[in-house]
Amino acid sequence: MSQTSSSTQVITEELRQWIVEQATSGQPPDAVLQSMLASGWNEDVAIVALEETLRGFLSEHALKNGLPPPVVVPEPMSLDRVPLLDAGDRKVPVLASMLNPRIVVLGQLLSDDECDELIEQARARLHRSETVKLDNGGSEVNEARTSEGMFFERGQTPLCRRIEERIAELVSWPVVNGEGLQVLRYGPGAEYKPHYDYFDPAQPGTPSILKRGGQRVASLVIYLNTPERGGSTVFPDVRFEVAPIKGNAVFFSYDRPHPMTRSLHGGTPVLAGEKWVATKWLREGRFD
């Protein structure tokens, strides 16, 4: 990669080839970016070159290998890796970040009062949780999910609107591309066994589901209380575990509906007390 003056910087084929070489050798995107900045590249130009080149490379790789092509997904962090993220009405600290799979653990996304209020708004409407039935697009009780839950319509209450606007600002994704908040309660022994949140393209009911907003591309799980024991969120493919701490959240994205995203995740059994969470799923397009 040759140096270039900041006034005449052009994204050349030579630069794109160098970026691909770095990526295929195992260099993470932030390390590649830092190398470009050290060589004199303007940060804005470098970020555009990096993102466009890697997206094109991944699309070409997918086509050659018969895989679904990647899509643009929500992202709470820029490549400069700032420790405090702007969520509009507050700064949200980053507690942990993983690139592959894309996982970001967030602190203090909701206040204690907001957590308590959301629980009380949901409590009277709880029923046995269901999962999407992919053979016809409906829903059903599934033994893998032993919680109680309910859905809010998007923007149904002032609190819901405030949380949704905060999430949209945080991950740079339109409010209208989000499903309504789902609130779940897990009692002692309740769990959600490892699963994917995207809709399986091979299932016959998926096309009808995708008519509303397209695929899911990211998930945000917000912990509304702290259980006495158990109830963590686990990512088995990478042996990563997130503790359920009141007000904190875990974000993860998946750029295609395929296990290669390593977005397999689950909720471990609650061993003492109870666990309350709010889940926000984000779609490719407008969800109406």
Res. 134 pLDDT band, cuts 50 70 90: low
Residue 1 is predicted with a pLDDT of: 55
CA–CA separation, 287 and 211 (whole Å): 9
Res. 136 pLDDT band, cuts 50 70 90: low
Assess if residue 107 is contained within a domain: yes
Same domain for 93 and 215 = yes
User: What are φ and ψ of residue 107, in 5° steps?
Assistant: -105, 145
Same domain for 201 and 168 = yes
Q: What is the mean pLDDT of residues 35-39?
A: 91
Locate 203 and state its tokens.
């299932």
Same domain for 134 and 13 = no
CATH of residue 211's domain is 2.60.120.620
Look at 242 and 143; give whichever has higher pLDDT. 242
CA–CA separation, 50 and 23 (whole Å): 10
Res. 77 pLDDT band, cuts 50 70 90: confident
Burial 35-63 (b: 16+ CB within 10 A, else e): bbeeeebbeebbbebbbebbeebbeeebe
CA–CA separation, 7 and 231 (whole Å): 53
Res. 132 pLDDT band, cuts 50 70 90: low
Alpha-carbon dihedral sign for residues 70, 72, 77, 81: positive
Q: Are 174 and 164 in contact (CB under 8 A)?
A: no
* pLDDT tens track for 96-109: 999 889 999 999 99
* Count of domains for the chain: 2
Same domain for 242 and 113 = yes
CA–CA separation, 288 and 277 (whole Å): 23
Same domain for 168 and 274 = yes
Residue 219, beta-bridge partner list: 252, 281
Give the domain extent around 192: 84-283
Assess if residue 79 is contained within a domain: no
Q: Is 31 left (phi over 0), alpha (psi -120 to 50) or beta?
A: alpha
Assess if residue 77 is contained within a domain: no
Q: Are 221 and 279 in contact (CB under 8 A)?
A: yes
**pLDDT at 246 > cutoff 70:** yes
Look at 52 and 197; give whichever has higher pLDDT. 197
Assess if residue 73 is contained within a domain: no
Same domain for 270 and 160 = yes
Residue 183, beta-bridge partner list: 150, 278
Assess if residue 153 is contained within a domain: yes
Same domain for 57 and 170 = no
Assess if residue 25 is contained within a domain: yes
**pLDDT at 6 > cutoff 60:** no
Same domain for 28 and 151 = no
Assess if residue 71 is contained within a domain: no
Same domain for 51 and 189 = no
Same domain for 184 and 103 = yes
Same domain for 248 and 220 = yes
**pLDDT at 244 > cutoff 60:** yes
Same domain for 270 and 196 = yes
Assess if residue 141 is contained within a domain: yes
Q: What is the pTM of this model?
A: 0.81
